[in-house]
Amino acid sequence: MHHFTDRGGRLFAEDVDLSALAADVGTPVYVYSEATLRRHFRVFADAFAETETLVAYSVKANSNIAVLKVLADEGAGADVVSAGELHRAMKAGIALKRIVFSGVGKTRDEIAAALDAGILQFNVESAPELHLINDVAAAAGARAPIALRVNPDVAAGGHEKISTGKKEDKFGVPWSAARALYAEARALDGVAVKGVDVHIGSQIDDLAPFEAAFSKVASLINDLRADGCEIDTLDLGGGLGIPYGEGAIPPHPDDYAAMIKRVTAPLDVKLIFEPGRMIAGNAGVLLSRVVYVKEGEEKRFLIIDAGMNDLVRPAMYDAHHDIRPVAARTGDKVPYDVVGPVCESSDRFAKDRPLEPMQAGDLVAVMSAGAYGAVQSSQYNTRALVPEVLVRGDQYAVIRRRPTFDDMVSLEAAPDWL
C-alpha cells in the first residue's frame, strides 16, 4: 500500500497536491512519500518481529541521504555494494554494526575502508576476494567478519537481467565449491567466518524459488556445522517483488516470513535481509509534463519531459510502469506511445498505452519509480540530473536539487594545449 492517492480527480502524495508541487519545483522530478517508506519498512520488519533479525536496506535501490535517514530512523541497517554507498550509509547515521558489504568486485581500497569503519560483515563472492580481504585485514592486524555468498543455482527473477542465483550468473561462490571454500576461510588469520549469504535475484513474485534456495542453504549450514564451522548469521538477501500494476502479485511479507521461519527455525541463526525494491519501489513516482502530443502516421506519441536518462527501467529491463494523469482527464481512452526526448529509440516508457486524451502541458505520474529510478539516472544528452523531493504529510522538501548547466560541466576541464 502506498500514499499516492486520487482526491477529487487530482493526484496527491500524502497531503501534497502533485500539480502544485510540479509548478513549484519543476519537472521532471522524483517524489517520494516518507509515510510509504516507513510503512514498507515496518511491514517487512514486523513480519520477523519474533526472530532475531537485521533488516539491512539495499542502498542501491534508492540511495538518497534523506531516504537513508528515514530508514535509519526506523532502525534499518544497510546493504552496500561500494565505498560510495558505505559513505552515504555512514553519513545518514546508519549504525556500522548494521552494515553489510556485498558485490562481486570489491577493490582493496573499498575493503580497507569498510574494515576501518568496522562494519558487521563482508559478503564474499569468490575465492580471490576472500584472499584479498584476508590480506588487507591481516596487514592491519584485524580479522574481517565474513559470510560467503553462495550461488544455489536456482532460476528466479522477473527478467534475465536481474536473475543472480543461477550458475551462469556472475554472483556468489559456485555451489559445488562452497564447502571447500569455507574450510579454506577457517584456516585464514585475517578473516572470521560468521555466516552464509544468498541473494537470488530481484522482482521475484513467487515463493517457490526462494524456498528452493533457502532449503539448499539450510542443508549447507548443517554440513558446515558438521565440518566444525560455526555459523551464526544467515543473510537471505533481497529480491521480494512489488506490484507494478501489471503481471503477478508478489507474495505478502507475512507469507514470505512464514515460509522462512519454517525453513530456518531449526538452524538457530540470526537472520539478515537486504530488501530494496520492496521498501522504496512504491514509495516514489516520477512526475513529468507532456511537451507535445505528436500524431505519427501509425502512432500517437505522448512526448514527455522525462527520458530514459531519468528512469531507465523500461528501456533496460522492458519494465512496466503504470502512468497516471495527475489531473483526471475525460473522454474515451486512446493508445499512446509514451516517450521521452532522448535521441534513442529505446527512450520509451510505454507502448500503445490506453490513456484518456492528453494535451501538451498536462502532468503525468510514472508510478512505482522509487527504486532503481533516480539512482540509475544520468546526464545523457546533457539533461540535468533529475531532482528528488521528499513529502511528509502536507510538507515537502527538495532532497536533491536540479543542477545548473554550470554545475554539470564543473568537473570537466580542457587541457592547456587547447
Binding site for ligand PLP (CB under 6 A): 58, 60-61, 79, 102, 199, 202, 237-239, 274-278, 371
| CA 133 to chain centroid | 26
- 240 or 366: whose CB is closer to ligand PLP? 240
| Separation between Cα atoms, residue 11 and residue 6, nearest integer Å | 5
**Residue at grid coordinates 530456518:** 264
**Residue at grid coordinates 499516492:** 4
b/e code 340-355 from CB counts within 10 Å (16+ = b):
bbbeeeebbbbeebeb
Beta-strand pair 388-392/395-400: antiparallel
CB of 57 to ligand PLP, least distance (A): 9
- 3-state secondary structure (DSSP) of residue 301: strand
CB of 241 to ligand PLP, least distance (A): 8
CB of 302 to ligand PLP, least distance (A): 29
- 18 or 114: whose CB is closer to ligand PLP? 114
CB of 107 to ligand PLP, least distance (A): 17
Judged by phi (left if over 0) then psi (alpha if -120 to 50, else beta), residue 331 lies in left
Q: What is the DSSP secondary structure assignment for residue 308, as one 8-state letter?
A: T
- 280 or 365: whose CB is closer to ligand PLP? 280
| Separation between Cα atoms, residue 88 and residue 98, nearest integer Å | 14
- 215 or 376: whose CB is closer to ligand PLP? 376
CB of 391 to ligand PLP, least distance (A): 22
Strands (E), 229-306: 233-235, 270-273, 284-295, 300-304
Residue 395, exposed/middle/buried by CB under 10 A (0-12, 13-18, 19+)?
A: exposed
Q: Are 288 and 304 in contact (CB under 8 A)?
A: yes
Grid cell locating 213: 534456495
- 123 or 288: whose CB is closer to ligand PLP? 123
Q: Which residue in 49, 187, 249, 343 is the catalytic one? A: 343
Q: Are 234 and 196 in contact (CB under 8 A)?
A: yes
CB of 388 to ligand PLP, least distance (A): 18
The verdict on whether 343 is a catalytic residue reads yes
CB of 171 to ligand PLP, least distance (A): 8
Furthest C-alpha separation in the chain: 71
Residue 117, exposed/middle/buried by CB under 10 A (0-12, 13-18, 19+)?
A: middle
- 21 or 148: whose CB is closer to ligand PLP? 148
- 312 or 371: whose CB is closer to ligand PLP? 371
CB of 202 to ligand PLP, least distance (A): 3
**CA 69 vs CA 65, 95, 181, 198: distances in Å:** 6, 11, 37, 26
- 278 or 350: whose CB is closer to ligand PLP? 278
Grid cell locating 259: 515460509
Q: Which residues are catalytic?
A: 343
